[in-house]
Chains A and B, each alone.
Chain A
Amino acid sequence: MTAPAVASLPLRRQFQTVIGETPPDLIRNSPQTSSAGNLTAEKVRVSAKPGVARSQRNWVFVGNDDMERQLANQLVALKVLTSQVAMHLTNEWRQGFFSQLDFLMSPDNWEEVDPIPGIASFNTALRLVIHMGHIKRPGLGFTPEGHIILAWTAGDDRLTIECFPGDDVRWVVSHTVQGEREASAGKAKAARVPALLAPYGPEKWLALQ
């Protein structure tokens, strides 16, 4: 059966088609033994273009190889995943995002003890960005578990969102109230974040200049 043209679908269906719900149709992480039989490989299936036929899809293998190779492979996978939602991002936003990933995921900046970032966390981050609409590009980081962090800063006011697999996020707002530093945090599904942040006036972090 021919897949529908993604751009012609309603927005929510585009998410489901391009990035996938749980478990997603186009992207899957699954432990798999390689044909060599001695490597446990994480297979990341990504589509060259949204809606292309199954037989035309690309495959990226991330094996228990050296760190540099794993980083390079995963960086490619994350960029391909981002490109699949290119219709929601400006070219400048996407290129800047790629530059940030290039910097952080270079062997010069990656600690060997840290796990390679997972596709599932990154998938949640992309869905979150799309849910939030046209927003300022965040600073990026990674947790010791390999989850991606999106961070926005407006003076002393800070918004930080950690993205977990399965569309779950933890948001933290940190600001000064009457001379004392306060922080508020919560866990939610990515789709709920815009509503949950509304009381904090998120425009100061997110609005495009």
Chain B
Amino acid sequence: MARASVTNVPDDHHILRYASPVRLRRDAANNVIGVLAAAFQLRPGEAYLSAGWLDMYGGNRDERLRQAAAAYDASPLHIKPNGAFAVGQVSAIKTAGERFKQKFRIVHEPSKGLGSYVAVRQYRDDEAELLALLADDAWAECVTVAACKA
């Protein structure tokens, strides 16, 4: 059986990571104002951080977000309507990692029913400051699932 190709995602492209409703930064009135660092924690047993390749899709930014959300919906990776996507540029995410002596490999690994599936490999989530920098700077753009579909 032919093995799916694995390629590096270009540095100037953007990737997105789904954040569930409980991992979004909210104000006291529950309005979404970003993502929490916990959105970049690995689940027990996970070896890498999963994401999606936003710029694999065509069209303008809104169209790409809409296609990405539709692709997640159709995949086994369930997304909640009140969840959101964190969007970041590959180069900025790698730079954040390098500040903590982590050299991420951000690779396109189409699988799990998601053609845009991306793995952030050589990733460790044991430094709270790195996760905060991802959430608040390098991977901080937050677009709600509802807004993607609008």
Contact = CB atoms under 8 A, between A and B. Distances in A.
Interface of A: 96, 99-100, 103-104, 108-111, 113-114, 136-145, 149, 151, 153, 156, 158, 160, 162, 170, 172, 174, 181, 183-185
Given A160-B132, A183-B128, A153 B27 contact: yes
Interface string B10-49: 0000000000111111111010011011100111100000
Contacts of A170: 128
Contact of A160 (B33, B36, B41): B36
B129 interface: yes
B121 interface: no
A104 B136 CA distance: 21
A103 B81 CA distance: 13
B132 A104 contact: no
A181 to B, nearest CB: 4
Chain B residues touching A, range: 20 to 34
A204 to B, nearest CB: 14
A24 B122 CA distance: 41
A109 B24 CA distance: 11
A184 B131 CA distance: 11
Residue with the greatest number of chain A CB neighbours at <10 A, chosen from B25, B33, B81, B133: B25
Contact of A113 (B27, B42, B43): B43
A165 to B, nearest CB: 16
B41 A144 contact: yes
10 contacts: A108-B80, A108-B82, A114-B20, A141-B25, A142-B23, A151-B36, A153-B33, A172-B128, A174-B133, A183-B132
A139 B129 contact: no
A153 B25 contact: yes
B137 interface: yes
A144 B80 contact: no
B31 to A, nearest CB: 9
A139 B38 contact: no
Interface of B: 20-28, 30, 33-34, 36-38, 41-44, 78, 80-82, 128-133, 135-137
Nearest to B23: A141
Nearest to A145: B44
Contact of A144 (B43, B133, B136): B43
Given A183-B128, A183-B133, A184-B129, A141 B43 contact: no
A113 B44 CA distance: 11
Contacts of A172: 37, 128-129, 131-132
A156 B136 CA distance: 8
Nearest to A99: B30
A109 B30 contact: no
Contact of A111 (B41, B80, B129): B80
Lowest 8 A-B CB distances belong to which pairs? A139-B26, A109-B21, A183-B132, A185-B128, A183-B129, A181-B137, A137-B28, A142-B22
Residue with the greatest number of chain A CB neighbours at <10 A, chosen from B22, B36, B82: B22
A174 B127 CA distance: 13
Contacts of A185: 128-129, 132
A5 to B, nearest CB: 32
Contact of B136 (A96, A110, A141, A181): A181
Contacts of A113: 43
